């Protein structure tokens, strides 16, 4: 009789352990598949936006090397303004100050990646050069690594000369660095 009770308790303990291990592995697997799906959707949205913007009619670029004001506005977050130093060569954007890399310009469409100073997810800026300004969308990648499970974020951005903006809006311009979570509000 005691052997049957001990065997029953062992079976019950093994069933409970199996349940909790299965639940933990299943939750981790679901989280990884959700993150993988979010990254795929995020990448496809960026490509779709780049394809769409190639057909947008814009004014010829009058941008030159100098300081510009970048305003970014992510959905549900306040507008963040930062000052950036842009460098142009032969009418093409070649360098942006801060944690920016992978600058690509095809016709009037421009894109770049900006990384957060605290190693957060990167933001992908995709937009067009339109006369004396640039505007477009910003995509913050879904969280990965220790930020896994954070959803992707989307917003808009505009970039104008710092001097023209200083005349129209007296607010102060931030430091030369801006985080990848920043977004730009549009006055349009």
Domain ranges of the chain: 1-188
3-class DSSP string for 73-136 = EECCCCCEEEEEEEEEECCEEEEECCCEEEEEEECCEEEEEECCCCCCCCEEEEEEEECCEEEE
For residue 174, give the DSSP letter.
Answer: -
Between CA 37 and CA 144, with CA 77 as vertex, the angle to 5 degrees is 30
55-91 burial: b if 16+ Cβ within 10 Å, else e: eeebeebebeeeebbbbbbbeeeebbbbbbebebeee
Confidence of residue 125 (pLDDT cuts 50, 70, 90): very high
Contact between 43 and 139 (Cβ < 8 Å) = no
Query: Hey, what CATH topology would domain 1-188 get?
Result: Lipocalin (2.40.128)
Contact between 108 and 60 (Cβ < 8 Å) = no
Residue in the block written with tokens 């808009």: 156
pLDDT surpassing 70 at residue 122: yes
**80-101: per-residue pLDDT in tens?**
998 989 888 888 888 888 888 8
Mean of the pLDDT values across residues 108-136? 83
Confidence of residue 16 (pLDDT cuts 50, 70, 90): confident
Whole-number Å distance between alpha carbons of 116 and 21: 35
Q: In the prediction, which pLDDT does 121 show?
A: 60
- Answer yes or no: pTM beyond 0.75: no
Mean of the pLDDT values across residues 145-169? 71
Most confident range (mean pLDDT) of 110-114, 161-165, 182-186 is 110-114
């Amino acid at each position: 009789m005691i052997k049957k009770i001990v065997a029953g308790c062992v079976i019950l303990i093994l069933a409970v352990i199996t349940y909790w291990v299965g639940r933990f592995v299943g939750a981790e697997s679901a989280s990884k598949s959700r993150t993988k799906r979010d990254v795929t959707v995020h990448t496809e949205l960026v490509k779709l936006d780049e394809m769409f913007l190639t057909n947008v009619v814009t004014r010829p670029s009058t941008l030159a090397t100098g300081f510009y004001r970048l305003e970014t506005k992510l959905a549900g977050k306040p507008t963040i303004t930062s000052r950036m130093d842009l460098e142009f060569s032969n009418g093409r954007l070649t360098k942006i100050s801060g944690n920016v890399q992978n600058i690509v310009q095809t016709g009037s469409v421009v894109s770049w990646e900006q990384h957060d100073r605290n190693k957060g997810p990167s933001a992908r800026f995709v937009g067009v050069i339109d006369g004396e300004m640039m505007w477009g969308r910003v995509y913050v990648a879904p969280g990965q690594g220790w930020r896994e499970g954070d959803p992707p974020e989307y917003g808009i951005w505009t970039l104008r000369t710092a001097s023209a903006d200083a005349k129209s809006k007296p607010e102060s311009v931030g430091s030369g660095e801006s985080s990848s979570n920043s977004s730009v509000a549009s006055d349009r």
